[in-house]
Amino acid sequence: MAADRDAQTETASIEANFAAVRQTMAEAAAAVERRADSVTLVAVSKVQPEARVDAALQVGHRTFGENYVQEAQERWRPRRPRYPDLDLHLVGPLQSNKAGEAVALFDLIQTLDRDKLAAALSKEMAKQGRRVPCLIQVNTGEEPQKAGLAPLEVEAFLHRARETHGLEVRGLMAIPPAAEPPAPHFALLAELARKLDLPIVSMGMSEDYPTAIRLGATHVRVGTALFGARPERKR
């Protein structure tokens, strides 16, 4: 009984969070005369308790972002048969030796960032007979510790990803430097996507998704604002 009540409280608060984020997204879109449905909400569920993820499914949400391949497999493989319209995005860094598992599980890989990975993904897609579209991760702040290509490298890499590796690249993704205002980074990413004729622009997290939408995000990746603070990752 107590557990049931907890689950109900969880669902109620997650439902309220989704409604609030949706409302904020719609306002940001309206401010720049964009339609609310031109922006996809990717609910980033990494390390969140299962009950919160189930609550999100219960309120009808289907597009989720995950950072860790193994955690995502454990969470989503058993749920997939019940939710055939799930849309799972990998938003964390991918090691080439996990490419097969990623291709089998995800519907969009947002973090393509090097030739070795492009080759591994390409090989796995051929082997599994499954084409998974990708986004190129761009390191807009050119931070040495962060994944992604420098903005000036993106065009040549896009051609290699398509021509050499035969990948379906649909857009760009970025995580701006934590210590800087994100707007110039968002503007740069959107401009680069426009120049390269790429339809998807994945940018904006809990702290800054309204700004990202005003600057052209087609996908925002929101975790804490939907699910609450993340517990520490268990290893």
Ligand X SMILES: *Cc1c(COP(=O)(O)O)cnc(C)c1O
Site string (126-165) toward ligand X, x via CB under 6 A = ----------------------------------------
Residue (19 or 156) nearer to ligand X, CB: 19
Q: How far apart are CA 80 and CA 4, in angstroms?
A: 23
In the 8-state DSSP scheme, what is residue 197?
T
The minimum distance between CB 223 and ligand X, in angstroms, equals: 3
67 binds ligand X (CB under 6 A): yes
Please pick, from the candidates 103, 205, 212, 217, the single residue that binds ligand X as defined by CB under 6 A: 205
Q: Which of 232, 222, 235, 221 is nearest to 49 (CA)?
A: 232
All residues at 6 or more sequence positions from 103 whose CB lies less than 8 Å from its CB, including other chains: 109, 121, 124, 125, 128, 130, 132
Tokens of 175: 């995580």
- Judged by CB under 6 A, the number of residues near ligand X is 13
Residue (11 or 48) nearer to ligand X, CB: 48
Closest chain position to ligand X (CB):
223
Query: Are 51 and 7 contacting, i.e. CB atoms less than 8 angstroms apart?
Result: yes
The minimum distance between CB 139 and ligand X, in angstroms, equals: 12
91 binds ligand X (CB under 6 A): yes
221 binds ligand X (CB under 6 A): yes
Q: Which of 118, 182, 172 is nearest to 150 (CA)?
A: 172
Query: Are 193 and 201 contacting, i.e. CB atoms less than 8 angstroms apart?
Result: yes
User: Which neighbouring-strand residues pair with 138?
Assistant: 149, 174
Residue (3 or 214) nearer to ligand X, CB: 214
Select the span of 20-28, 31-39, 151-159, 223-231 touching ligand X (CB under 6 A). Answer: 223-231
Which residues sit at the interface with ligand X, rule CB under 6 A? 44, 46, 67, 91-92, 175, 205-206, 221-225
